[in-house]
Amino acid sequence: MNISYNWLKDLIDIDLSAEETAAALTRVGLAVEGIHAFGDDKIFDIDLTSNRPDCLSHLGVARELHVITGKAFPAKPRGREEEAEAVPFPALLAPDVVRIEDPELCYRFTARIIRGVKIGPSPKWLVDRLESVGERSINNVADVTNYVMLELGQPMHAFDLDKLAENRIVVRRAKTGETITTLDEVERKLDESMLMICDAEKAVAVGGVMGGLGSSITDDTVNVLLEVAYFDRNSIRQTSRKLGLATEASYRFERGVDIENLQRASDRAAELIVELAGGQLDDFVDVYPNRLTVPVVVSNDISRAVRRLTGLDVPADACVRILTGLGIASEKQDDGSLRFTSPTWRHDIVIEEDLVEEVARHAGYENIANELPPAFEAGEYQASEAKKKLLRQKLADIGFDEAISYSFIDTKFDGQYEPVPGIVDEKLDDKFVTLRDSVIEAAVRMRPTLLPGLLDSIRFNLNHQRRDLKLFEIGKVFANSAGTNPLPAEREVFGLAITGGELLQKHLEPQRALDFYDAKGAVEAALEAVGFPSVEFRAAEIEHLRPGQSAGVYIDGGMIGSVGRLNEAISASYKFRAPVFVAEIDIEAVLARNTAGVFYHPLPKYPSVVRDVSFIVGRDTTFDTVRDAVVDQGSDICRNIGFVDIFEGKGVADGKRSLTVRFEYRSDERTLIEEEVADAHGRILETLRNTLGIVPRG
């Protein structure tokens, strides 16, 4: 943003040099990145953050100088010796010239008619003033609209009134297939989300972005309709991106302008147009169907809040002076607290911390000392973050590396992967979130699953001769949701991918190939680390997994994800030669459940007794079924039931298999005797015979 030093002096009596002014502005957060000369003027190149649209004008910067210097603000309307006579403004008329059909996108619209103007070149002072900040002169009327925008921060547009059908303005959304040729002589195709300024028949401007060529001011223009309006910020941003059309007006509208500044800006522009182009003021219409409410912030002790958050010791009266100078009104309440009302030009002041930031800017960031916060205010992890840290640590402990992938993927992955349950709304025709302006070519889809990113990492490593891989990622996935103009659904997910082999104990021993049970075990270890030692796996058909080597993951009866071997089609597309096993879990759903936490027990003092038993079971009988039956039986000394082996083949009937289970018996109070173990073991075998109909293999 270019700001003229002389223009600032027209608004406020500055007794600082240009260099001193630049340093003062930088100190309060309006970083002046450079100063260059323009004739007898100095131009500041100011870098503004997106939350300070109020300083996209000389008035806004002068307001900051008012607080810095204490000078009256604003002192003068403009710095020219010859002042025009005051222009009498007509009374407000009924809003029959303007109709707002979409008040959700256009909150307020003012229109002023000026008849009998003479279009011509602007005077030298106006041309010089515009050129000093990088704007070119067009004609006296267009130059006035740009001048007032740069001075007061309010974009506006002048129409040739005689080119408007029925001399009327209709503010509505574009119609399907509608087009408009904008001032840059480009025909643009519109869609129904875009707000248009129209006459009684057609669109004449893209609201908040650019005017139309057909209604523009020309040398033949005699009557002018001056538009000054307030549009929805998100609507302007979306329209500007869709059309690929960024203008000075859209830059300000999409960040937020002052809705209470419209008539002031209109008066200022009308005054200058009459002075420079002649003419007489006629109708003025102000349509304001939905009044905006400004945020109110209550602070029990603003000075204490500043000290607590920044360490700065600023007295309460000094805090109020700074905030009042910035336009933030204060009112003392009966309980002694202060009620602060945000000005309409500051959209970023909504909580007490915002007030503290304003005080700290003018009290001086450089005065904030380096010190540790008090012990009672020391930071700590949120519960979910602490659990995710445990999950990461557990996976790192068992040999996994963390991957971080882009959130954008190609549309070719649509339908290839089955996301975790509940992410995608299957009722929607358009299930996925698509970027209109992607940062990576072809990657226009917000990922509904982590797997494409993980598999890209696997392929990259394989191409660099790294064959033994264990990767995991925790990140957000996205999908469209139902409703009227809803925000996309977001969910945090944990995914992993493994391939290759693993050495067992020593380098002299042979390498073991990673398999389904490694992926399953990693999921169990990760979930146990966050407080879920009991996880259920059920055979399931998953879109991207190989049939017979895939399972759904369940907690408390609800499916939270899947684990299994990547199917042949996807493996072939990546040119994977070795099997790749993947898992994806809805970690947000897991962490939302209340858990009892992690409990620690002393190591056992007494030895265990182990019994391995092989059972002949049907193919539909799983180890989990056997374990659950034993747990339900409730033996006091049976401390663990583990899977050992499974066998099918010679000696086992068709449709059956041999399942070997390990039972561990132990007491925390004494060494068990053989009779106690035999009794408990016999009761467990009896339970399995009665409930599942299985007996030890003979």
In the sheet that 401-402 helps form, which strands lie side by side, from edge to edge?
401-402, 469-479, 489-499, 580-585, 558-566, 545-555, 536-539
The pLDDT score that the predictor gives to residue 505 is: 59
The pLDDT score that the predictor gives to residue 277 is: 94
The pLDDT score that the predictor gives to residue 324 is: 92
Q: Confirm whether 205 is domain-assigned.
A: yes
Segments forming the whole domain that contains residue 303: 296-363
Spatial CA neighbour of 579 closest among 554, 548, 552: 548
Q: Per-residue pLDDT averaged across 326-345, rounded?
A: 88
In angstroms, the CA 310 to CA 369 distance is 8
The pLDDT score that the predictor gives to residue 249 is: 95
Lowest mean per-residue pLDDT among 188-197, 257-266, 650-659: 650-659
Please report, for the domain that includes residue 680, its CATH number: 3.30.70.380
Same domain, 648 and 675: yes
Domain boundary among 564, 592, 620: 592
Place of tokens 């009988």: 621
In angstroms, the CA 210 to CA 204 distance is 10
The pLDDT score that the predictor gives to residue 374 is: 60
Strand partners, 42: 37
Question: For the segment 356-385, what is each residue's pLDDT rounded down to a tens digit?
Answer: 999 999 998 888 888 665 655 556 666 678
Domain boundary among 23, 53, 69: 69
Q: Confirm whether 681 is domain-assigned.
A: yes
Please determine, for residue 60, whether its predicted confidence score (pLDDT) is greater than 90.
yes
Same domain, 458 and 516: yes
Question: For the segment 423-440, what is each residue's pLDDT rounded down to a tens digit?
Answer: 888 888 888 888 877 777
Same domain, 118 and 160: yes
Q: Confirm whether 377 is domain-assigned.
A: no
On whether the CB atoms of residues 319 and 308 are closer than 8 A, the answer is no
Q: Per-residue pLDDT averaged across 510-532, rounded?
A: 89
φ, ψ (nearest 5 deg) of residue 233: -65, -45
436 DSSP 8-state letter: S
The pLDDT score that the predictor gives to residue 488 is: 86
φ, ψ (nearest 5 deg) of residue 528: -65, -35
The pLDDT score that the predictor gives to residue 375 is: 57
The pLDDT score that the predictor gives to residue 508 is: 60
On whether the CB atoms of residues 14 and 71 are closer than 8 A, the answer is yes
Please determine, for residue 195, whether its predicted confidence score (pLDDT) is greater than 80.
yes
The pLDDT score that the predictor gives to residue 92 is: 66
For residue 659, how many other CB atoms are within 10 A of its CB? 23
Please report, for the domain that includes residue 312, its CATH number: 3.30.56.10
Q: Confirm whether 529 is domain-assigned.
A: yes
Please report, for the domain that includes residue 189, its CATH number: 3.50.40.10
Lowest mean per-residue pLDDT among 161-165, 445-449, 482-486: 482-486
In angstroms, the CA 448 to CA 73 distance is 53
Question: For the segment 411-421, what is each residue's pLDDT rounded down to a tens digit?
Answer: 889 889 999 98
**ω into 579 cis (within 30 of 0):** no
Q: Confirm whether 231 is domain-assigned.
A: yes
Q: Per-residue pLDDT averaged across 49-71, rounded?
A: 91
Q: How do strand 469-479 and strand 401-402 relate by DSSP bridges?
A: parallel
Same domain, 430 and 555: yes
Same domain, 52 and 121: no
Q: Per-residue pLDDT averaged across 228-248, rounded?
A: 93
User: Confidence class of residue 459 from pLDDT cuts 50, 70 and 90?
Assistant: very high
The pLDDT score that the predictor gives to residue 376 is: 54
User: Confidence class of residue 654 from pLDDT cuts 50, 70 and 90?
Assistant: confident
Same domain, 24 and 128: no
Same domain, 357 and 283: no
Please determine, for residue 259, whether its predicted confidence score (pLDDT) is greater than 90.
yes
| b/e per residue 171-202 (b: at least 16 CB within 10 A) | bbbbeeebebebbeeeebebeeebbbbbbeeb
What is the residue type of 506?
A: K
Domain boundary among 592, 622, 643: 592
The pLDDT score that the predictor gives to residue 441 is: 73
Question: For the segment 662-694, what is each residue's pLDDT rounded down to a tens digit?
Answer: 999 999 999 999 999 999 999 999 999 999 999
Please determine, for residue 42, whether its predicted confidence score (pLDDT) is greater than 90.
yes
Same domain, 560 and 672: no
Please determine, for residue 596, whether its predicted confidence score (pLDDT) is greater than 60.
no
Please report, for the domain that includes residue 575, its CATH number: 3.30.930.10
- Collapsing DSSP to helix, strand or coil, 372 comes out as coil
Lowest mean per-residue pLDDT among 190-194, 373-377, 388-392, 441-445: 373-377
**Better-predicted residue by pLDDT, 194 or 88:** 194
Please determine, for residue 458, whether its predicted confidence score (pLDDT) is greater than 90.
yes
Q: How do strand 545-555 and strand 536-539 relate by DSSP bridges?
A: antiparallel
Alpha carbon of residue 592 to chain centroid:
21
**Better-predicted residue by pLDDT, 595 or 533:** 533
362 burial (CB, 10 Å; 0-12 / 13-18 / 19+) is buried
Tokens of 75: 């002192």
**Better-predicted residue by pLDDT, 380 or 268:** 268
- For Cα atoms 525, 528, 534, give the angle at the middle one, nearest 5 degrees: 110
Same domain, 476 and 546: yes
Query: For a pLDDT cut of 90, what percent of the chain falls above it?
Result: 64
Same domain, 426 and 478: yes
Please determine, for residue 454, whether its predicted confidence score (pLDDT) is greater than 60.
yes
The overall average pLDDT reported for the chain is 89
Place of tokens 């057909």: 214
Same domain, 280 and 255: yes
For residue 623, how many other CB atoms are within 10 A of its CB? 17
Question: For the segment 541-588, what is each residue's pLDDT rounded down to a tens digit?
Answer: 999 999 989 999 998 888 999 999 999 999 999 999 999 999 999 998
For residue 572, how many other CB atoms are within 10 A of its CB? 10
The pLDDT score that the predictor gives to residue 684 is: 93
Please determine, for residue 80, whether its predicted confidence score (pLDDT) is greater than 90.
no
Count of domains in the chain?
Answer: 5
Q: Confirm whether 503 is domain-assigned.
A: yes
How does DSSP assign 245-292, residue by residue?
---HHHHHHTT---GGGHHHHHHHHHHHHHHHH--EEEEEEEE-SSPP
Q: Per-residue pLDDT averaged across 162-175, rounded?
A: 93
Same domain, 345 and 472: no
Please determine, for residue 516, whether its predicted confidence score (pLDDT) is greater than 70.
yes
User: Confidence class of residue 138 from pLDDT cuts 50, 70 and 90?
Assistant: very high
Q: Confirm whether 501 is domain-assigned.
A: yes
On whether the CB atoms of residues 144 and 273 are closer than 8 A, the answer is yes
On whether the CB atoms of residues 678 and 686 are closer than 8 A, the answer is no
Lowest mean per-residue pLDDT among 125-134, 461-470, 596-605: 596-605
Tokens of 442: 């072809």
Q: Confirm whether 77 is domain-assigned.
A: no
